[in-house]
Amino acid sequence: METVTVITSGKGGVGKSTVTAGLGAALAARGRRVLLIDGDAGLGCLDHMLGISERRVFDIADVVSGAAEPDKAVYASSFSPNLFLLPAPGTEEDVVSPDVMRELVGVLARYYDHVLIDSPAGVGQGFLSAAAAARRALVVATADPVCLRDTAQARLRLREAGVAQQRLVVNRFSAAAFRRQGCYRDLDAVIDAAGVRLIAVVPEDPQLAAAGAAARPAPPKSPGGMALARLAARLEGEHVPLPPLQKL
């Protein structure tokens, strides 16, 4: 299950679901068959971001309970034939147990090139369920001390869950704001605070946020769209250097 990646964060509000949807679309644009699993029970938003909320009938809880076969609960996105979603359950009481999630994802992963699991923020039961099925994690954070403190906690909990391969995605980055805040001397200090090796910096990009709100893909030439395309390439083993931070 090397293609199963959990996308998580130590705290909410860092744009984790936007990264999940955008990365899934970027991988699908590379010709890959991609399944997103929304693990944020009661608060899932990927169904809206992928344009399937009006068609949604079943979710992952229905599959686990036997009320629906997996193929009935997996929906194609409105804008990519290669991008699919298994929606989150409607209530927190329906969080899937780690053992069941591991078994279910093991079956589904056979039919996709990539499975991306959007974990709820924090390190509660939903986090443990999402992490149980993954061998690799992307930890999304913003470059501020509170977020990076929580990111360090998420890193430890991921290791306890057996997810040793972790990479940091610094999201909503603005070089001007970073210098103005003066919390860290440079990006290396951010990486040290998180304790996770960097894989991508996604710049602050209103077009990326607007695309998710409007259930459409990010413009491929937007700063955020290009950053997620580079991240997709790195996940597939390509060597893609980071651009100079002043250009982000």
> What domains sit in the chain, N to C, each tagged with a CATH number?
4-247 (3.40.50.300)
Task: Please report the pLDDT score of residue 90 as a whole number.
Answer: 78
- Whether residue 39 contacts residue 117, with contact meaning beta carbons closer than 8 Å, is answered with yes
**Alpha carbons 64 and 100: distance in angstroms, whole number:** 8
179 touches 210 (CB < 8 A): no
In this predicted structure, what is the pLDDT of residue 248?
59
The residue to which tokens 């077009």 are assigned: 207
Rounded distance between C-alpha atoms, residue 111 and residue 94, angstroms: 25
pLDDT score for 246: 59
Question: Which helix (H) or strand (E) segment is 105 a member of?
Answer: helix 98-108
Contacts of 47 (CB under 8 A, 6+ apart): 38, 53, 56, 75, 85, 87, 88
Average the pLDDT over 68-87 and give the result: 94
Query: Strands (DSSP E) along the chain, which ranges?
Result: 4-8, 34-38, 75-76, 83-86, 114-118, 136-141, 165-173, 198-203
Per the listing, tokens 């999201």 go with: 171
Q: What's the pTM value of the predicted model, to 2 decimals?
A: 0.94
Higher pLDDT pick, 243 / 245 = 243
d(CA 122, CA 8): 8
Residue identified by tokens 């991008």 is 83
CB 79 within 8 A of CB 25: yes
Strand partners, 201: 170
* Angle between helix 206-213 and 16-29 (nearest 10): 90
Lowest mean pLDDT among 96-100, 111-115, 232-236: 96-100
* pLDDT tens per residue, range 197-222: 999 999 999 999 898 888 888 888 89
As a whole number of angstroms, the distance between CA 61 and CA 70 comes to: 10
Half-sphere CA count of 35, side-chain side, radius 13 A: 24
Q: What is the pLDDT of residue 1?
A: 38
Contacts of 71 (CB under 8 A, 6+ apart): none
